[in-house]
Amino acid sequence: MKPVILILGSIAIILVWLAWRRDPALLSGGLLEGGRMAVDVLPIMLLTFVIAGLFTQLVPKEVLLDWIGNESGWRGIVVGSIAGILAPGGPMTMFPLVGLIQQAGAGIGTLVALVTAWSMWGVRMILLESALISPRFALFKFLSCFFVPMLAGSIAHLAYARFWK
């Protein structure tokens, strides 16, 4: 069993016990709210799994490794950064997708660049920052962080090659 499942399961059991002990109505309310959230998120996650799974089957492994594998070097890091900019959705869609891409053979530098670009300056972030803060802020943040995903991906690639291979 994965450690994250053990940790989350332990937290859930403790919270169930605390809610039940305080008031059983809290427990049923919390379980209903969790169920509502699952109904909202589950279809998105399932579609993401289908897309990622089909992607890994439709793209030949050699092509995938050539473009984003550990040996792809700078090309993989740049591809990961661009993919991170364009990737839609939140963490419930992005992280399963990244996990499947990793299982398909993507390099650590590519994955770090992808997740860093997605979290720092993806299209959805630029649009939100422009609307909620200001277009000027979004532009300056984007420009000041432009090289961070590629730098992070490069550091991860070099560290992995040096210390974990």
Phi and psi (nearest 5°) for 108? -60, -40
**For residue 152, what pLDDT is reported?**
97
Nearest C-alpha neighbor of 88 from the set 124, 64, 42, 44: 124
What burial letters (b/e) apply to 115-139, b meaning 16+ CB within 10 Å?
A: bbbbebbbeebbeebeeeeeeeebe
Mean pLDDT, rounded, for 122-136: 89
Structure tokens at 114: 């992808």
Domain ranges of the chain: 1-46, 59-164
Q: Which 3 state secondary structure label does DSSP give 134? A: coil
Residue 41 has pLDDT above 90, yes or no: no
Q: Which 3 state secondary structure label does DSSP give 123? A: helix
Question: Per residue in 51-89, pLDDT tens?
Answer: 878 877 888 888 888 899 988 989 999 999 999 998 877
Which amino acid would we find at residue 104? A
DSSP code for 87 = -
- pLDDT band with cut points at 50, 70 and 90 for residue 12: very high
Mean pLDDT, rounded, for 140-164: 92
Cβ proximity of 97 and 52 under 8 Å: yes
Question: Per residue in 1-10, pLDDT tens?
Answer: 688 899 999 9
Instruction: Point out the least confidently predicted range of 30-34, 105-109, 113-117, 121-125.
Output: 121-125
